[in-house]
Amino acid sequence: MRKLIACGFVAALGISGPLLAQKTLTGFTERSAVEQKQLEQKFDAQLSAARVGQAIKDLSAVPHHVGSAGGKAVAENILNKFKAYGWDAKLETYQVLFPTPKTRVLEMVSPTVYKALLKEPALKEDATSDQPDQLPTYNAWSADGDVTGELVFVNYGLPQDYEVLESLGIDVKGKIVIAKYGRSWRGIKPKVAQEHGAIGCIIYSDPKDDGYYQGEVYPKGAFKNEYGVQRGSIMDMVIYPGDPLTPNIGATENAKRLNRLEAPNLLKIPVLPISYHDAKPLLEALEGPVAPAEWRGALPFTYHVGPGKAKVHLKVDFDWKLQPAYNVIAKIAGSQYPDQWVIRGNHHDAWVNGANDPISGAAALLEEAQAIGQLVKTGWKPKRTLVYCAWDAEEPGLLGSTEWVEDHISELQQKTVVYINSDGNGRGFLGVEGSHALETLVTEISKDVTDPQTNVSVFERVKANNAVNAATAKAKKEALAKPTFKVNAMGSGSDYSSFIQHAGIPSLNISYGGEDDGGEYHSIYDSYDDYSRFKDPGFVYGVALAKTAGRAALRMANAEVLPFDFRSLHKTVSDYVKDLLNQTEQMRESTAAENELIRANGYALANDPTEKKKLPQAKAEVPYLDFSPMLNALTELEKTTEQLASAWSKAVNTNGNTAAFNKALYQAEQQLLSANGLPRRSWYKHTLYAPGFYTGYGVKTIPGVREAIEQRNWKEAQEQITVVAASLQKLSAYLQQIAQ
């Protein structure tokens, strides 16, 4: 329905096709912009939706998780494709730890007995659903364990849910918790449960989130049927991603490895994911308080929290083996700047068949490689080197890409112009996360790529969608007036993390989606049949992704002067700092108001013996933090980004040797790294972006300061303000230097 309105709206705006495409391109001269456009038209002409579809079918034909025969076959298939397309391609292999289940038992032992199925049934409507070699349903990096205990329902299992449990006087110490999937990286749920003393954690998919409450279930519709299970990693990735035994170094054959039990990003409790078919009898047996309204799902009974008679037995143990992770690395050397690399990547490993995650994105990447190969055959050569990568072992925790980055970090920091990532892709709207200095590049590309459903630019389509969904008339007006495409900050969840958050390499993550909802994620039903019916019928968004990411790679490979504009970074960081100031101010006011209330009511509550609820405690007042170092650094940065912008415009038209200038531009992001990294997680070096300590996926911008404020750790907040100010000053001085 929404889609239709959007089309009508765009038509009303009298906009049609990218006829509106701009003549100039940032970073190109008038003449080279015309040549680049012609090259891109030839590139587009090589792209075939049918070939994308065939690649998705081939590469998701059998289960292909890391360490499996199917996984190796997919890596070799991709290697051969690159070679056939004329790329200089090879495998780079790392030895990574990858646990697979030997035992999985979950049973309710009281008040009645129920033995969980822990199996997804094959469906005649899905050709690959009955295949052998499917990984069982499990959470990789769960600890080995055999526990029995009272069951407690903890909603999504996030810190705020435990505050609610505490206010209900419920403690999970020595108990087993059951949490809903959703709202965070799944690893946060067992992490917070472990922090509160739970002995085991069960994670289930409630039909309210991605099952029958959302729409028809598979195979009739796209949503999760009662037996579907989301597999997935529960590594505490916010400490560091990658092979847990080799933080900061590549997991090469002879790398020095930690003992598994010492790895700080692995949890100590047993964890298991289940379907809502298996969760139903467990949740139904719970007694105790009725769950708060916002905790209730869509299963047909009254949700209770427990604990009580309902007791479960959870037993899991794993085969902790090193497995080979096969990264496919393909290159086309640059004709003018061979030591300047434009890297493009998508992972190829899956939990089972992974037609959507990751093969839909990998197929688009291969289609780009095929088209670029055709261009090279016509005698064209990129100015800078193109490096196309298919990563292994992303699913367990970004292992393949992280080991490669850690292994080659100094060369990558010298040579990498940009890293362009993709992963799952489907029908819908363009979404981009990344380095804010690349907003101009992304905006121009989004105005040049046509949306296959509406035939307007993907820029216009997103704009119309934002306007349609705007909450207020003001927001709608702003959405319609916005001249640029919003690049969101990067959290985690795919292979860009080590590039930007560890190495400080400018990065983009590109995908289409939003009209491809469903419940197949990490289940046996993420298959070609599901994908071709519900995710991207006709594979037209596969081609849209190839056009979008392909243009990013080709423009960064050919630009005279790289289209980095740090003014948009300055603007964005200024907004973050404003937000931090507001957040602290609000916390100060709400704490003062709360404390006043507690002081005023404290007496009343004390006189009511029936009140079992724990009395709220007054919180420490929120002190005034000194943000001036950051504010002064921003003022300086505003000046230097302007200086650089004018030096930049001069450089475009000088036709001089811009190699050094360009190298300085793409290394600027590294100035935002801090040597010590974030508190308690030094692997994360970037001072502006990191996944939240308690979100896992979701980004925390200016994380060192923001999380200290959220944790009311005022001393650390002040220290981190100094750290961030120093990195902004470093960037300022650096930009001023290259401007001169």
- Please name the helix (run of DSSP H) or strand (run of DSSP E) that holds residue 262, with its range, or none: none
Rounded least distance, CB 432 to Zn ion, Å = 17
Q: What's phi and psi for 87, nearest 5 deg?
A: -90, 150
Give the C-alpha separation, 210 to 191, whole Å.
23
Token output for 460? 């216009």
Residue in 25, 52, 81, 22 with CA at minimum distance from that of residue 557:
25
Closer residue to Zn ion in complex, CB, 324/358: 358
Q: Which two tokens stand for residue 225?
A: 């049927």
Nearest distance from C-beta of residue 169 to Zn ion, angstroms: 41
Residue 198 vs 390, nearer CB to Zn ion: 390
Question: Does residue 98 sit in helix, strand or coil?
Answer: strand
Least Cβ distance, residue 231 to Zn ion (angstroms): 12
- For residue 61, the cross-strand partners are none
Nearest distance from C-beta of residue 737 to Zn ion, angstroms = 39
Using a CB cutoff of 8 Å and minimum separation of 24, what contacts does 242-246 make? 242/397, 242/398, 242/399, 242/402, 242/403, 242/406, 242/498, 243/94, 243/96, 243/97, 243/399, 243/402, 243/403, 244/97, 244/141, 244/397, 245/97, 246/403, 246/406
- Using the minimum distance from each CB to Zn ion, give the nearer residue, 358 or 542: 358
In three-state form (DSSP H/G/I as H, E/B as E, the rest C), the secondary structure along 433-482 is EECHHHHHHHHHHHCCCECCCCCCEHHHHHHHHHHHCCCCHHHHHHHHHC
Pairwise CA distance, residues 492 & 477, whole Å: 31
DSSP assignment of 293-308: GGG--SSSS--B---S
- Shortest distance (Å) from residue 411 CB to Zn ion: 26
State the CB neighbour count (10 A cutoff) for residue 482.
15
User: Whole-number minimum distance, CB 273 to Zn ion, in Å?
Assistant: 17
Any residues with CB less than 8 A from the CB of 582 and at least 6 apart, and which? Answer: none
Q: Which of 598, 557, 641, 694 is nearest to 183 (CA)?
A: 694
Tokens of 373: 């190969």
Binding positions for Zn ion, rule: CB under 5 A: 357-358, 423
| Span between the terminal Cα atoms of the chain, in Å | 54
509 or 729, CB closer to Zn ion? 509
CA-based nearest residue to 638, from 554, 551, 575, 553 = 575
Q: Report the nearest approach of Zn ion to the CB of residue 232 (Å).
A: 10
Shortest Å, Cβ 431 to Zn ion: 14
**Residue 116 in tokens:** 């969980």
Residue closer to Zn ion, measured from CB, 65 or 663: 65
User: Residue 308: left if φ>0, alpha if ψ -120 to 50, beta else—which one?
Assistant: left
Whose Cβ is closer to Zn ion: residue 546's or residue 738's? 546
Nearer to Zn ion, 207 or 358 (CB): 358
Residue among 357 and 530 whose Cβ is closer to Zn ion: 357
Q: Provide the minimum distance between the beta carbon of 403 and Zn ion in the complex, in angstroms, as a whole number.
A: 17
Q: Is 456 left (phi over 0), alpha (psi -120 to 50) or beta?
A: beta
> Running DSSP on this structure, what letter comes out for residue 539?
G
CA distance 269 to 418: 39
Picking from 495, 396, 362, 399, the residue whose alpha carbon sits closest to that of residue 60 is 362
Of 461, 342, 323, the residue nearest 395 (C-alpha): 323
To Zn ion, the closest distance from the beta carbon of 341 in angstroms equals 23
Of the two residues 423 and 451, which places its CB atom closer to Zn ion in the complex?
Answer: 423
Q: Which of 139, 674 has the CB closer to Zn ion?
A: 139
**Position 665, amino acid:** L
- Token pair 């093969």 is found at 359
Taking the complex as a whole, the smallest distance from the CB of residue 424 to Zn ion amounts, in Å, to: 6
User: Measured from the CB of residue 183, what is the shortest distance to Zn ion in angstroms?
Assistant: 19
Beta bridge partners of 324: 95
Residues 6+ apart with CB under 8 A from 590: none
Q: Is 226 exposed, middle or buried (0-12, 13-18, 19+ CB in 10 A)?
A: middle
Taking the least distance from each CB to Zn ion, the nearer of 32 and 494 is: 494
Beta carbon of residue 361, minimum distance to Zn ion (angstroms, whole number) = 8
Nearer to Zn ion, 200 or 345 (CB): 345
Q: How far is the CB of 358 from Zn ion (least distance, A)?
A: 4
Write down the least CB distance from residue 525 to Zn ion, Å: 16
AA letter at 623: P
Per-residue tokens: 697: 């996926």
CA distance 453 to 466: 17
Minimal distance, residue 77 CB to Zn ion, in Å: 18
Cβ proximity to Zn ion: between 423 and 526 the closer is: 423
CA distances 494 to 334, 402, 421, Å, are 27, 10, 8
- Residue number, 364 or 561, with CB nearest to Zn ion: 364
Q: Which residue, among 298, 273, 285, has the nearest Cα to 217 in the 3D structure?
A: 298
Q: Which is nearer to Zn ion, 357 or 529 (CB)?
A: 357
Cβ of residue 92: shortest distance to Zn ion, in angstroms?
19
Task: Give the residue from 378, 401, 380, 383 showing the smallest Cα distance to 391.
Answer: 401
- CB nearer Zn ion, residue 206 or residue 423: 423
Nearer to Zn ion, 33 or 96 (CB): 96
